[in-house]
Structure 1
């Protein structure tokens, strides 16, 4: 029923992939040359081939991210040109395009698949002359290689740095779990090692008492992978050239062809209005923080590397709260079990541990059952390790759909995080932010796993507009602040004592602490990304653009050495180019949906949640999200819900 996760052919993976692609080429030619004119005889088998390729390649791309090694890198890099060439061939296959263009579709799903296929061909340059088609193919291949190079440079730079602290006073006041995670014995002497891997980095930036060490860590983080400057220039030049070849004025205009947002001005206006709404409160938040740092430690020149540290101290003084108070109550295993229970109750499914092969001993797989029937599978890989790239993400593998033979396929997905690892002394303990992250990624996963479409191309997260794909993830993460939810899994890892009502109230109370500064930061990233792709920026022009945007959004001037863009993997290695704004764009939907489903007693309204599952999650990309939303609630999402969510005056 499900694929078994195993990869024992790394040495000859690219040859196996080439053989599979050559076989698919023959099958596609057979379909193209046939007399078939029906959807079932053309687009159904083509979607079967898409699934087959995904099932074969996803384990390698996934392994390269979570168990990175020279072997996975070599196999992955050897595979990219093969996939790029195949993709370009298919996208520019005029005969196939003409056959698909002539097809008539009956069902709503099939019509959407057909619409997306035709649009995809056109955006891939099927109508271009041969020389321009060839150039597009070259661009696609080079972009794949550069994206991988950007990511690998960043991973290598992250792993190359270590800060060794010898004096115990320089870790005083830090959470014991972070001290224990950093503690090492070198030549019989106890030292504390901090790295640029996110759990370690954020621990010292938030709690580390030595200002000079915070500055050193911050500078190391902000200057990672300087070689990515050249990679960025190449990526931007190629994307600009690609958009010009296809008849668009810029990559941003090209990208909006497949987005929920209709016009470039809509995006820029939305972001600027959000910044304007947050700016007055953000200035007050920074003024308060500066005054606190001055009063506390006589800091007259508050710097970026001080913000996390003094923000945490201010939060503790203001609310008598910090993450150290909640971390003992969020044991990874209990949080995960609690999340599964909540999703079960909310959406009428059950999770059972699956005894199957995985890529690492800490991976936890579960089978999902709906109405007593097997309906999906999910894998959780939650702890940081040096072979895993940073961040958190959901990756889909198998997709729910009915194939050309009438057989139903079931979906599967991976959730990957980088939480503090289990040690000999303590289990993996999560900050509340980590709990929110886990809920967020689970929101993505159930969007894919609860899809009920019969057509693969629009099932689960497939075919969903990029700027609304964050809606389900943000929707679910909002529940991670509700007391009715937290008390289900918040138990002290040593004593078993339940998390107190007072502590849960503080989590909710502090949710929007410095929210306006956070919004400005997201707007900064979003404006930089979108404007960067509205024209061709090269070399110093990239930094100049970012500096110009920061004039409005960055109330604390970053140091000149800060090269944030060199680590902005979302847009240079993660598919968010000209789309980072989607986090906030989708958040209008998620905030409105959250308030519609919220129940202060149980945490959620089951009837509304049922509708959310049936309309939003089950429909995947078969219907435009704005249309689905109105079908579900009978109205459009209200942008004021986002302002309400952040409690911005």
Structure 2
């Protein structure tokens, strides 16, 4: 049975993500008329050699494709599960391969549904993708509580397996137990109901943020201090008013550069109130569902349940880590906050504190006046097109890769696709969807489109961001490098026998470490000199980059405290119930951040990480501690030194989830990770 299953899966995967063929059918072209490469055969993609033929599909065509593809995968996964129950293989490895086949199918379908619900231009397609995810999630829950499958997999003789297969067996059995397979029928039925309700609440939460864009309308004189290219892109309407939205390319420059305090305050309030009041009720519902879910499985709280499979191990350890970071950051935070307050008092002599509407603006003034770093000058060196190419050049050189443009049909004309080659062999494909549009995911993230499985499918990943089409803030460049770190991890880690270990498959509190470490290359003068070039052809000066680094260090203490406020919020609301989430925000901001709460705002409603990261937002800082330690192995004088770069690539990224994260880091560093490098950086 296992051999037949494997053959069927290979055939299906070779025909899977096939937007190209969908368009060919619509145009009356036959698949055999289209040129194929080894890559497109492996990925199921048709290369369109004539760029004029890249007409995007109509919404109804895409909708049908999403529904049929996800539904087809689900049907096949059900069939494979039925076959495994009815005729389980006698060979231990064959049992795991059959289970792996099911997970590949479900993963492919879930990736398509998850991506298209976040990026497709048509609301009906996004809604259809959300709907397609629901039966996939339900079947995943059903599998996790299937006593017969648990019995079959539990009977596998671990001694007959190699190390990777033993790890897969151990992780799979753990997943079964955490799903409630050993609970009574009534409890399992309720757990299934909870899982379905949790998914729907999560989808509603994300949709409210994605579609809850707010805006303000101001006269041009209320935009004093804004960069000219930003003003050119925001002309006044017939009523003489300029519209500014809460989307990043609008709002971040405004709160950073606009000298009108009133304009900054109004927009800040709108930013902090995105998805309010809708998400307040949604979050309360989601938190209650998670709490009941954890209790039924025998955990004190959702935070305890969630932390069990992370590096940190327990909810109590999360609280201890938050306090440790706060203690380490306090002196620096208070020192730098006082600098901001002193600068504010030069403009507002009776000011007693400084809050969010003034934070970015006065931080920028301090960096400009005290560190001689003018962000408006800096951004002239970061043209989007040059930055994008520079990113590919830098990461290609660092990791021994080559990126080749792939002329394929995608979900939107903004999307750029590249084949990824290592030693002239294609190892995957990436898609860059980097500009904002209505209905699109509002933040920055890497989405899987397909996980790599050795011998059957290459990894595909998608970078979804919301950057300006013209000049970029350097902070956006750093964000782009960060998110690209996830994408590279997904591709390099995609050569795995078991899909469970493919790509970014480590513990959740390690996944940010490789991406945070890659940010360091966006701060190196030699690296930036390869692509940071202004309109006059001048390369960014090394002394300016050095000043930028010193200026960036300003505020790292209060930024760490702010991050711990976010982490404490995500933890606290998953430890116990609260009648008023806004009160929790107010109380925790007062305890952990050094900046006061802004009245009549509801940050939690727009805090998308409360869904995906649930109680684990601490992971960003946990990962940063490890990232600083890993980066200490590199030579500041030559960040491209091949020996250490190759060791890092092969010991950490290429391994995917084949080992515990702590072991991956130890393999790279030759020792266990420590807090020391982070503490030194924070104290500098």
**TM > 0.5 between the two?**
yes
The Cα offsets for residues 287-341 of structure 1, whole Å up to 9 and x where unpaired, read as 1111111113546253321111111112111112132111111111211211111
**Conserved 8 A contact 1:439-1:476:** yes
Q: Residue 295 of structure 1 corresponds to which residue in structure 2?
A: 346
CA displacement at 1:522 relative to structure 2: 0.3
Q: Residue 15 of structure 2 corresponds to which residue in structure 1?
A: none
Per mean C-alpha deviation after superposition, the further-off stretch among 256-265 and 612-621 is 256-265
Does 1:560 pair with 2:599?
yes
Q: Which residue, 281, 290, 307 being the options, matches 1:230?
A: 281
1:271-350 pair list within 5 angstroms: 271-298=322-349, 300-301=351-352, 302-350=354-402
Q: Residue 149 of structure 1 corresponds to which residue in structure 2?
A: 204
> Distance between the aligned counterparts of 2:529 and 2:655, measured in 1?
32
Comparing both chains, which one has the higher relative contact order based on Cα–Cα distances under 8 Å and sequence gaps of 6 or more?
1
Q: Residue 262 of structure 1 corresponds to which residue in structure 2?
A: 313
Q: Residue 430 of structure 1 corresponds to which residue in structure 2?
A: 472
**Conserved 8 A contact 2:111-2:450:** no
Q: Residue 425 of structure 1 corresponds to which residue in structure 2?
A: none
Q: Residue 549 of structure 1 corresponds to which residue in structure 2?
A: 588
> Distance between the aligned counterparts of 1:375 and 1:568, measured in 2?
35
> Alpha carbon RMSD of aligned pairs, Å?
1.9
Q: Residue 639 of structure 1 corresponds to which residue in structure 2?
A: 675
Secondary structure at the residue paired with 2:673?
coil
Q: Residue 497 of structure 2 corresponds to which residue in structure 1?
A: 454
Q: Which residue, 514, 522, 528 being the options, matches 1:480?
A: 522
Q: How many residues align?
A: 626
> Distance between the aligned counterparts of 1:140 and 1:35, measured in 2?
28
**Conserved 8 A contact 2:647-2:668:** yes
Q: Give the 3 Å change call, closer, same or farther, for CA 377–13 of structure 1 in structure 2.
A: closer
Secondary structure at the residue paired with 1:317?
helix
CA displacement at 1:387 relative to structure 2: 2.8
> Distance between the aligned counterparts of 1:355 and 1:362, measured in 2?
12
CA displacement at 1:140 relative to structure 2: 0.7
Does 1:495 pair with 2:536?
yes
Q: Residue 88 of structure 1 corresponds to which residue in structure 2?
A: 141
**Conserved 8 A contact 2:303-2:571:** yes
Per mean C-alpha deviation after superposition, the further-off stretch among 249-258 and 72-81 is 72-81
Secondary structure at the residue paired with 2:466?
strand
**Conserved 8 A contact 2:585-2:603:** no
Q: Which residue, 250, 256, 259 being the options, matches 1:209?
A: 259
Secondary structure at the residue paired with 2:586?
helix
The Cα offsets for residues 177-227 of structure 1, whole Å up to 9 and x where unpaired, read as 22122224x23x654221111221111111112211211111122222212
> Distance between the aligned counterparts of 1:637 and 1:152, measured in 2?
38
Stretches of structure 2 lacking an aligned partner (at least 5 in a row): 1-41, 47-56
Q: Which residue, 604, 607, 610 being the options, matches 2:643?
A: 607
> Distance between the aligned counterparts of 1:638 and 1:55, measured in 2?
37
Q: Give the 3 Å change call, closer, same or farther, for CA 88–317 of structure 1 in structure 2.
A: same
CA displacement at 1:469 relative to structure 2: 0.8
Does 1:136 pair with 2:191?
yes
CA displacement at 1:16 relative to structure 2: 5.7
Q: Residue 217 of structure 2 corresponds to which residue in structure 1?
A: 164
Q: Residue 620 of structure 2 corresponds to which residue in structure 1?
A: 583
**Conserved 8 A contact 1:252-1:534:** yes
Q: Residue 31 of structure 2 corresponds to which residue in structure 1?
A: none
**Conserved 8 A contact 1:453-1:618:** no
Secondary structure at the residue paired with 2:420?
strand
Q: Give the 3 Å change call, closer, same or farther, for CA 297–544 of structure 1 in structure 2.
A: closer
Q: Residue 552 of structure 2 corresponds to which residue in structure 1?
A: 511
Per mean C-alpha deviation after superposition, the further-off stretch among 85-94 and 171-180 is 171-180
Q: Residue 598 of structure 1 corresponds to which residue in structure 2?
A: 635
Does 1:369 pair with 2:421?
yes
> 4+ residue stretches of structure 1 with deviation over 6 A?
none
Q: Residue 63 of structure 1 corresponds to which residue in structure 2?
A: 116
> Distance between the aligned counterparts of 1:132 and 1:108, measured in 2?
34
CA displacement at 1:13 relative to structure 2: 4.5
**Conserved 8 A contact 1:37-1:99:** no
Stretches of structure 1 lacking an aligned partner (at least 5 in a row): 422-427
CA displacement at 1:12 relative to structure 2: 7.4
